[in-house]
């Protein structure tokens, strides 16, 4: 088994420092690329949010129309029932 070196030379320390710096440079570049991708994704989510808002407005209008038609049909049915009962009473 080989004994560990006791002393670090200036050249070895400089090499280690350069390798560490390159590693951090690479991490920094990766983080910048990731940040760019996040910005693109954020823009796409904003577009999707706008589309969903439009879809929500369409659904709200559909619900309002269905409620109006339903209330109108119930009112017409009640009017027919009152008319039929009124005719039945007058026929007795």
The answer, yes or no, to whether residue 5 has pLDDT greater than 80, is no
Region 30-53: mean pLDDT is: 92
pLDDT of residue 3: 59
The answer, yes or no, to whether residue 7 has pLDDT greater than 80, is no
pLDDT of residue 11: 86
Q: Is 1 helix (H, G, I), strand (E, B) or coil?
A: coil
Cα 58 from chain centroid (whole Å) = 19
pLDDT of residue 12: 87
pLDDT of residue 9: 85
Q: Cα separation of 92 and 87, whole Å?
A: 9
């Amino acid at each position: 088994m080989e004994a560990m070196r006791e002393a670090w030379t200036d050249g070895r320390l400089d090499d280690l420092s350069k390798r560490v710096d390159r590693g951090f440079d690479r991490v920094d570049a990766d983080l910048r690329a990731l940040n760019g991708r996040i910005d693109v994704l954020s823009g796409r989510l904003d577009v999707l949010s706008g589309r969903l808002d439009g879809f929500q407005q369409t659904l709200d209008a559909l619900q309002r129309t269905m409620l109006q038609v339903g209330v109108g049909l119930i009112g017409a049915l009640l009017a027919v029932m009152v008319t039929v009962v009124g005719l039945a009473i007058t026929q007795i």
